[in-house]
Structure 1
Amino acid sequence: MIAITRRTLLATSGIAAAAAGLPGSALARGVEKAPPDLFVGTGGDGHTYPGPTTPFGMVQVGPDTDNTRWEGCSGYHRTDTSIMGFSHTHLSGTGIGDLMDVLVVPSRGAVELVPGPREDPDKGYRQRFSEEHAEPGYYRVRLESGVLSELTATERTGWQRHRFPQGPGHVLLDFWHMPPVQPPTYRLVRDATLSIAGDGTITGSRSVYRWAKGRKIHFALKLSRAPDRVTFYVDDKPQPDGTRTVSGDKLKLVLHYDDAGAAPILTKCGLSGVDVAGARANLEAEGRGWNFDAHRRAATKAWDKALGTVRVSGGTPEQRTILASAIYHAQLAPTLFSDVDGRYMGLDRKVHQLPAKERAYSTYSLWDTYRTLHPLLTLIAPERATEFTHDLLRQSIESPFGPPVWPLQGVETGTMIGWHAVAVLAEAHAKGIPADYAAAWPAIRRRAFDPTTPDVASTRARGDYAKLGYLPADRVDESVSRTQEYAYDDWAMAHLAEAAGAHEDAAALRKRSLNYRNVLDPKIRFARARLANGSWITPYDPIQIGHKVEEYRDYTEANGWQATFLNQHDIYGQIAHFGGEAAFEAKLDALFSAPSTLPDNAPPDISGLVGQYAHGNEPSHHVAYLYAYTGAPWKTQAMVRRLLTEMYKDDPDGVIGNDDCGQMSAWFVMSALGFYPVDPVEAAYVFGSPLFERAEVKLGVNRKLVVEAPGNRPDTPYVAAVTWNGRPWTRSWIAHRELAKGGTLRFTMSGTPNRDFGRAPADRPPSYGSTPA
């Protein structure tokens, strides 16, 4: 992990000292597209994977090194020394493991049916490896058996090419493989079937009860060479010769080749969340022929387009690689979840048919990604943002729970708190993305006002929230964070109510969105839990994560320090609640300069500390930008530059916390460009400190944003002046409607702060629909 030492940094001398040891930036000779490093984030707690996929693709075929510990939630960790095999689905950056479907294991020698322990690579079917290489759309590795394995993907199919040495070999298909992470107390796989048809196509279905309980996956797989023998296994027991179909929980299949090295053995595998017929159709549509290299080139081309949306000059080579890697990781999820015929599995566990040209998606890590990833996509991938908007509206209508929380392959996991799909939808409406928002309002309204609506773990005790104006800590776990995030969702739902013409509902929700104040004690100026009788919890220590951890935590992956600044939508209201802008600014100073101590029971998500600010966890991501609301954006500039240079590295351990489906990466991209969406629903960006001398951002068709910071260096973190399309710009923010038109945003950078820039109340960012002026 990155070693973060506590420094005040808010003084100019602190910035200069920090910058002194950094290399100077290169002269800006022209923008370029640096290649990403797919191993960034695969070490530490980044939880990313290096296997190939296409942008937002359904299939993520890749190597699995671990499925037993938290560090291996993606199935891969850079420190591991052996590979179990190559499965076809992976999660990027999540803090919980799932997927890893349809594991293919090419090997030689005696057949092994279990992978063996990670700590002992010489047991089981694990193999040590070398010559590992990864690039967008392609992965290659040599296994200790001598097999050279290559992987690529289309949107719905995974391709593998295995070159064996001369002599016998085999391919194991392990359909039991999954990420248990902890010893299971119930059946993790149920209703599995595995068959081989007369044409040699292998098909299978299973229901998985890991994270997304009852998730269904179906596959159809073909081989370029017919095996000499086939052996099915049920509960690791071989089945009689001639068996063509098996069922149960623990199913495996071994394909034997007398001379595996006679020619490469290729597999192509189509997936579906609907049925085997859908998997077959996906395979037939995207898996014609056996030209592995053609599909590799197509995947490379798709990534060239996606990665070419942002090009920069200046900075260091390492920073340009970090940026490219972040842009890559920001376009892995959400993932495609509809078949080529338009069918998909809805959150109501029913099969639905899409209108022509529509697509369904899964893997929405909304508690994380509403903050920066979705705002970033409205700029660099507006067509995807439109697709996700339509998809989330559909899912809000179909789900018995209303707007999604954390949907994964047709299952509402209910993970984390709030129902932040509404934030993505409200932002989309505010930015003018066309969609039928009114159609989803009845389902969203039920979530907002009807406490009898079917519940998931993230939405408990909404009756108390509506009655008391907060969630009581003696009844509800994580009551402080829940109150604040419910309030933000009220703010988002108020916008959607207006869009639907429900003006009275909108007014009620706007008023209720101020409930966040009810867990901010104005006397001590900290987020603090309250009991049902209205009293504040005592004693109080902002370092602690809860008043009674054996029963309740008061905060979600946070403590009192971090939760104090969770509010994103009513900054000026909180400033007044805390006694004015001087007091609020001093409180921010105290956050960043406090001792970086945590209690022993703190979750690993609280990482990347600067004082008590935790960059490794998403609720802190907007906080450095709050100085702009006090008229001191120069402090934002100093801290953002520090976070950009200290929290990210060109290294497997280069992401300070879980990447969470691209959120950590998206923060780097937007902040490196020089602006950030503190409140995505406000559709405005607060200026920070651009990292490069020049950036060119493609904003859809025929529009381009140019961000210039000539002469920008490590020792010039401060913004002396700004122009927009050649005109002086005194505000410390800019609206999305301006930026999305395209143009040139020019920063004049300095080694000393301009304390007058953005200081006037009229130049400060809007919040709760207005500025302090």
Structure 2
Amino acid sequence: MKKRKLREYITMLFFLPLFCMCSHTNNKTSNMATHVNPIIGSGGHGHVFVGASVPFGAVQLGPNNIFKGWDWCSGYHYSDSIITGFSHTHLSGTGGSDLGDILLMPINGKVNIKRGEQKNINNAYASYFSHDNELVKPGYYSVLLDKYKVKAELTATERVGVHKYTFPGKNDNHVIIDLKEGIGDKSYETFLKQVDANTIEGYRFSKGWAKDQRIWFTLKSNREIEKLELYDNDTLVGEEEFMAHAVKGVISFAGNPQEVILKVGISPVSSVNALANIDIEAPEWDFDKIAGQAEEKWNKELSKIEIETNDPVLKQVFYTAMFHSFIAPVLFNDADGSYRGTDKEVYTNPGFENYSVFSLWDTYRTEHELLTIVQSERVNDIINSMLAIFQQQGKLPQWHLMGNETNAMSGYSAAPVVVDAWQKGFDGFDEELAFEALKASGTCKTQRGIAPLMDYGFSPRDKSREATSVALENLLDDRSVAQMAKGLGKENDFKYFFNRAETYKSYFDKSVGFVRPRLSDGSWVTPYDPMESVHMYGDFSEGNGWQYTFLVPQDPEGLIDLLGGDEKFTCKLDSLFTLEGNFGEHASIDISGLIGMYAQGNEPCHHIAYLYAYAGQQWKTAEKIRYILNEFYTNQPDGLIGNEDCGQMSAWYIMSSLGFYPVNPSNGVYVFGSPLFDKATIKLPEGRKFTVEAVNNTKENYYIQSVELNGSEYSKSYIKHDDIMAGGVLKFIMGNTPNYNFGKSPDVRPTSLL
């Protein structure tokens, strides 16, 4: 196995005291926030958001660097030393860039409205900063801007960003509002207006990954605003309200106060609603109180799982993973419930909290399953949000971003999320509407890969890019639709989607032992190298034929039969984890965290190590999982081996470290791996608890010897969702050598049968 080379950006000795400071939390809840290090994943290719937010909040208020490409998708990268300001929306961990709306920057001295460039910020408003003068923890961010000697502090509610700026003196202090700048997008219409002595309002419409993103805001100041000078790009246009494609403003305060607090409410509907959000969520001017409330909200969510371990680094990695898993999806409505739909119409009183930022190609695998356990109160709202999107655009969300369908990635990956919720008994949504949405999405010919699938019975390489991986994702989704059809007694729909799902087998070429692209005449593509990965324009999305051969999490039993039975299947898996190879000169940068051909840094591999259990060799699953947990997740800035992807990378860690994982994304079965902690307690609804204990657990004792459930011997190598949610105690007895008999018999292996 090839170990990862860690870059030592910063030592643990720096992090541990850093996050013990400035706690605003009282003793009502356990202060799990002290274990969170939001800098994890801000280096390397993690792309995480760094700043102030509350769980699943619409506002992610944080610093922006000058955008320099892929590793700045969140707007911030730990390697950087320049801040251009603090914007109110960010993505976390994505491979695409957008947002960064409503940028504020405190300055003093001579006003320069230009942002600046990486090589020259002297004649610009951007400033250098040092990580030595930066503090970030759940719900709070602060930094010293070197150029101005201004201390900027940020906190947030769900829909309000709160800024506190402390200037070094009372001399020419200003705040710039820049509506031109975003993160990889372009504004096409912006507006600014001073309403009264303490209020400014405006909006920013932009085109980027989200083709037509619209956000309104209202800014309230605790200091009198003497004037608001308006600029079109870098040209002064006056002090009256102004609309153009790139409006900027400079706020000057009466009396040049040394401390200013600004509250910025955002809304997908109007500035009036943005102001109402401020009045409801942040009516006071007590910055520390608001920051304390934000931290309490984080502690409430973080304390839903309490772990026991003697290793403080493991605690830091775990609770940071929890933190990252609860940033998205985000609220996309106002405090009164109103929101703007994909069709740009305003909806009032929808009867649910509306969510957006659905990175579904990533999050269907683990993030949403985790939410059904520890965020069950949000699941119905998330599903209702998806069903509303279906009603507005004619299909379920694919990669939905702030009221926009980006159509990014492959598969109609909302399907397993909806079916998983339905199967687990969530009933706060219309199941008939849900099935209508599933069926429509699975037969929508504008959905990527569906038209060739319906026309040819498979997806030919000469008809679409990445055709083979797109097909495998669609067929995975088909299986979930078939599952719900069977449960609802819709026999014809069940037969159609089940039979179509079974066609994954037609992509396997037994003569080479891999999935293989096909042409429209049905022939195999020749030549073919299953090790090659051609980013964006190859046969597989962010992967290769080795990895995608195992992308059948919905039917591992069928895959085992296809590859020749248990022995040949496990031999093939062994080769995946041991074969060192070259992916080709066009390999995707997403292929990272390698163990042979296995890539933990990207989602298509996330279930693969658990497949051993389906072939009766659970001990090999335990071996691989413990290695991944220990080697690819650290408390360093590059502590995530790949893109966080809106919580998926961290959700994998959480579930796996607890000792079980949802291979099939929509059947409520969790496969055992190797529990990382001595004890973990999950707090469930109605006061129930589910506790996982690992007896004799050490770094060397990562093999499961035996299992007990609620005091009785438990021979299965998996557990069902209902068993967890009922509460109880799952006890693993661990050892340093494999128990080859544990999980070996076919009757105790995990199942994917409908």
| TM-score bucket of the superposed structures, by smaller chain | over 0.9
1:570 aligns with 2:558: no
For 1:542 and 1:448, locate their aligned partners in 2 and report how far apart those are by CA, in whole Å.
28
Question: Is the CA contact 1:315–1:691 (under 8 Å) kept in the aligned structure 2?
Answer: no
| Equivalent residue, structure 1, for 2:10 | none
For 2:586 and 2:201, locate their aligned partners in 1 and report how far apart those are by CA, in whole Å.
46
1:48 aligns with 2:48: yes
Question: Is the CA contact 1:758–1:764 (under 8 Å) kept in the aligned structure 2?
Answer: yes
Q: Secondary structure at the match of 2:96?
A: coil
| Equivalent residue, structure 2, for 1:488 | 476
For 1:604 and 1:202, locate their aligned partners in 2 and report how far apart those are by CA, in whole Å.
43
Residue pairs, 1:325-724, within 5 angstroms:
325-356=320-351, 358-400=352-394, 402-434=395-427, 435-451=429-445, 455=446, 459-546=447-534, 552-724=537-709
For 2:359 and 2:79, locate their aligned partners in 1 and report how far apart those are by CA, in whole Å.
26
For 2:279 and 2:412, locate their aligned partners in 1 and report how far apart those are by CA, in whole Å.
37
| Equivalent residue, structure 2, for 1:23 | none
Q: Secondary structure at the match of 2:225?
A: coil
For 2:609 and 2:584, locate their aligned partners in 1 and report how far apart those are by CA, in whole Å.
24
Q: Secondary structure at the match of 1:239?
A: strand
For 1:259 and 1:602, locate their aligned partners in 2 and report how far apart those are by CA, in whole Å.
58
What letter is aligned with 2:234?
D
Moved more, 592-601 or 361-370: 592-601
Q: Secondary structure at the match of 1:474?
A: helix
- What displacement does 1:405 show? 0.2
For 1:538 and 1:438, locate their aligned partners in 2 and report how far apart those are by CA, in whole Å.
45
For 1:238 and 1:263, locate their aligned partners in 2 and report how far apart those are by CA, in whole Å.
26
Moved more, 702-711 or 114-123: 114-123
1:248 aligns with 2:244: yes
For 1:136 and 1:668, locate their aligned partners in 2 and report how far apart those are by CA, in whole Å.
19
Which one of the candidate residues 283, 291, 294 is aligned to 2:278? 283
Which one of the candidate residues 264, 269, 292 is aligned to 2:259? 264
Question: Is the CA contact 1:169–1:258 (under 8 Å) kept in the aligned structure 2?
Answer: no
Question: Is the CA contact 1:37–1:325 (under 8 Å) kept in the aligned structure 2?
Answer: yes
Task: Go from structure 1 to structure 2 and tell me whether the alpha carbon gap of 1:218 and 1:648 turns closer, same or farther (over 3 Å shift).
Answer: same
1:690-728: per-residue Cα shift (whole Å, max 9, x none)? 011111111223111110012211001100000000111
Which one of the candidate residues 150, 165, 176 is aligned to 2:180? 176
TM-score (norm 2): 0.93
What letter is aligned with 2:651?
A
What letter is aligned with 2:456?
L
Question: Is the CA contact 1:57–1:332 (under 8 Å) kept in the aligned structure 2?
Answer: yes
Question: Is the CA contact 1:616–1:657 (under 8 Å) kept in the aligned structure 2?
Answer: yes
| Equivalent residue, structure 2, for 1:88 | 88
For 1:364 and 1:446, locate their aligned partners in 2 and report how far apart those are by CA, in whole Å.
19
| Equivalent residue, structure 2, for 1:197 | 195
Q: Secondary structure at the match of 1:228?
A: strand
Query: Aligned pair count?
Result: 723
- What displacement does 1:258 show? 6.8
Q: Give the fraction of aligned pairs with identical amino acids, expressed as a percent.
A: 39
Question: Is the CA contact 1:607–1:614 (under 8 Å) kept in the aligned structure 2?
Answer: yes
Moved more, 62-71 or 423-432: 62-71
1:364-421: per-residue Cα shift (whole Å, max 9, x none)? 1111011001111111111122321222222222223x11101111101101001111
| Equivalent residue, structure 1, for 2:236 | 238
For 1:442 and 1:712, locate their aligned partners in 2 and report how far apart those are by CA, in whole Å.
48
- What displacement does 1:443 show? 3.3
Question: Is the CA contact 1:571–1:768 (under 8 Å) kept in the aligned structure 2?
Answer: no
Question: Is the CA contact 2:449–2:471 (under 8 Å) kept in the aligned structure 1?
Answer: no
What letter is aligned with 1:488?
L
Q: Secondary structure at the match of 1:681?
A: coil
- What displacement does 1:675 show? 0.2
Task: Give ranges in structure 1 of 5+ residues lacking alignment.
Answer: 6-30, 182-187
Question: Is the CA contact 2:411–2:448 (under 8 Å) kept in the aligned structure 1?
Answer: no
What letter is aligned with 2:416?
A
1:493-537: per-residue Cα shift (whole Å, max 9, x none)? 123334554321022111111121121212211121000111111
For 1:118 and 1:490, locate their aligned partners in 2 and report how far apart those are by CA, in whole Å.
48
- What displacement does 1:191 show? 2.5
For 2:672 and 2:93, locate their aligned partners in 1 and report how far apart those are by CA, in whole Å.
27
Q: Secondary structure at the match of 2:196?
A: coil
For 1:731 and 1:432, locate their aligned partners in 2 and report how far apart those are by CA, in whole Å.
23
What letter is aligned with 1:429?
W
For 2:660 and 2:461, locate their aligned partners in 1 and report how far apart those are by CA, in whole Å.
36
What letter is aligned with 1:698?
K
Task: Give ranges in structure 2 of 5+ residues lacking alignment.
Answer: 6-29
Moved more, 660-669 or 589-598: 589-598
Question: Is the CA contact 2:555–2:664 (under 8 Å) kept in the aligned structure 1?
Answer: no
1:610-634: per-residue Cα shift (whole Å, max 9, x none)? 0000100011000000000110000
For 1:150 and 1:232, locate their aligned partners in 2 and report how far apart those are by CA, in whole Å.
25
| Equivalent residue, structure 2, for 1:304 | 299
- What displacement does 1:355 show? 3.5
Question: Is the CA contact 1:476–1:552 (under 8 Å) kept in the aligned structure 2?
Answer: no
1:227 aligns with 2:225: yes
Moved more, 382-391 or 428-437: 382-391
| Equivalent residue, structure 1, for 2:9 | none
Q: Secondary structure at the match of 1:680?
A: coil
What letter is aligned with 2:514?
F
| Equivalent residue, structure 1, for 2:24 | none
1:15-67: per-residue Cα shift (whole Å, max 9, x none)? xxxxxxxxxxxxxxxx9946110100100110012201010001011111232
For 1:690 and 1:32, locate their aligned partners in 2 and report how far apart those are by CA, in whole Å.
24
Moved more, 312-321 or 268-277: 312-321
| Equivalent residue, structure 2, for 1:20 | none
Q: Secondary structure at the match of 1:281?
A: helix
What letter is aligned with 1:268?
K
- What displacement does 1:689 show? 0.2
Task: Go from structure 1 to structure 2 and tell me whether the alpha carbon gap of 1:158 and 1:635 turns closer, same or farther (over 3 Å shift).
Answer: same
Q: Secondary structure at the match of 1:737?
A: helix
| Equivalent residue, structure 2, for 1:760 | 745
Q: Secondary structure at the match of 1:516?
A: helix
Question: Is the CA contact 1:483–1:515 (under 8 Å) kept in the aligned structure 2?
Answer: no
- What displacement does 1:596 show? 4.2
| Equivalent residue, structure 1, for 2:20 | none
Root-mean-square deviation (Å): 1.7
For 2:90 and 2:451, locate their aligned partners in 1 and report how far apart those are by CA, in whole Å.
37
What letter is aligned with 1:46?
G
Question: Is the CA contact 1:168–1:258 (under 8 Å) kept in the aligned structure 2?
Answer: no
Question: Is the CA contact 1:596–1:610 (under 8 Å) kept in the aligned structure 2?
Answer: no
Q: Secondary structure at the match of 2:614?
A: helix
1:313 aligns with 2:308: yes
For 1:641 and 1:157, locate their aligned partners in 2 and report how far apart those are by CA, in whole Å.
41
For 1:650 and 1:340, locate their aligned partners in 2 and report how far apart those are by CA, in whole Å.
36
Question: Is the CA contact 1:396–1:440 (under 8 Å) kept in the aligned structure 2?
Answer: no
What letter is aligned with 1:510?
F
| Equivalent residue, structure 2, for 1:62 | 62
TM-score (norm 1): 0.91
Task: Go from structure 1 to structure 2 and tell me whether the alpha carbon gap of 1:461 and 1:618 turns closer, same or farther (over 3 Å shift).
Answer: closer
What letter is aligned with 2:369?
P
Q: Secondary structure at the match of 1:268?
A: strand
